[in-house]
Amino acid sequence: MESLSNKKKVLEQKPLSFMERMYLPAIAKGMGITISHLFKKEATIRYPEVEREFSANFRGMHSLKRDENGKERCTACGLCALSCPAEAITMIAAERKPEEKDLYREEKYAATYEINMLRCIFCGLCEEACPKEAIYLDGPIVPADYLRKDFIYGKDKLVEAPLEMKK
């Protein structure tokens, strides 16, 4: 049948020539190739000691950001939870008291904020939905653990360190 793509090649099956049947030239060639790899740099990265560099747009663990005065940006609007296709985010909002003015930027804040890292698919939609620039997926790889409950990350793990601690 006529080939439409014109990519078809008829495979020729010739009997091996004398040199090919001797195997030795081909073996010598192959061994030359393998020995040349002995002097090449190995591709291995010794993982726990050395880590591969991530690309600039890598999406890792979430972090809840603070503003320039060290106040939490999150206002518990719930848009991240709403945008999350995996329903990994839950939160409980609370009203800021006057003496907490230095802790939270807006009058409403997230009293608890939990992300289930087993549900999260690291799509970055929460990041895009946030109107306050409060959540970014700029952390490292989420580490392994033994129990399901330990994968539910609360504010203790998610919120950025306070400003003075950063310095």
Partner 1 sequence: MDTGFIIEKFILVAVIFGISLVIAMYSTYAERKVAAYLQDRLGPDRAGPFGILQPLADGLKMFMKEEIIPTTSNKWLFIAGPGLALLCACIGTAVIPWGSPMLIGGKVVPLQVSDINVGVLYIFGVVSLGVYGVMIGGWASNNKYSLLSAIRAASQNISYEIAMGLSIIALLLMTNTLSLKTIVEQQHGWHWNVLYQPLGFLIFMVCSFAETNRAPFDLPECETELIGGYHTEYSSMKLGFYLFSEYINMFVSSAVMATLYFGGYNYPGMDYMATLLGPTWAPLFGTAILFAKIFFFIFFFMWVRWTIPRFRYDQLMNLGWKGLIPLAIANIIITGVVIAIIEKF
Q: What is the C-alpha to C-alpha distance for residues 83 and 135, in angstroms, rounded to an integer?
A: 13
Annotate 107-124 with DSSP letters as a single string.
Answer: SEEEEEEEEETTT-----
Residue 19 CB, shortest distance to partner 1, in Å, is 14
3 vs 34, beta carbon nearer partner 1: 34
Among positions 7, 9, 14, 41, the unique one binding partner 1 when judged by CB under 8 A:
41
Q: How far is CA 87 from CA 4, 84, 153, 155, in A?
A: 49, 5, 14, 17
In the block, tokens 């990519």 appear at: 7
Q: How far is CA 142 from CA 8, 48, 130, 162, 166, in A?
A: 48, 14, 21, 21, 21
Tell whether 120 is in a known binding site. yes
Taking the complex as a whole, the smallest distance from the CB of residue 142 to partner 1 amounts, in Å, to 25
Of 1, 11, 33, 144, the residue at the interface with partner 1 (CB under 8 A) is: 33
**Residue 117 assigned to a binding site:** no
When binding is defined by CB under 8 A, the residue of 44, 55, 57, 69 that contacts partner 1 is: 44
| Token pair 């230095």 in the structure block, residue | 102
123 is known to lie in a ligand binding site: yes
Among 11, 38, 56, 144, binds partner 1 (CB under 8 A): 38
The answer to the question of residue 147 lying near partner 1 (CB under 8 A) is: no
CA-nearest of 128, 116, 113, 110 to 59 is 128
List the one residue from 34, 55, 57, 69 that touches partner 1 (CB under 8 A). 34
Cβ proximity to partner 1: between 44 and 55 the closer is 44
Q: Is 17 in the site for partner 1 (CB under 8 A)?
A: no
Cα–Cα distance for residue pair 66/94, rounded to 1 Å: 18
Please report, as ranges, the residues that interact with partner 1 according to CB under 8 A: 23, 27, 30-31, 33-35, 37-38, 40-44, 46
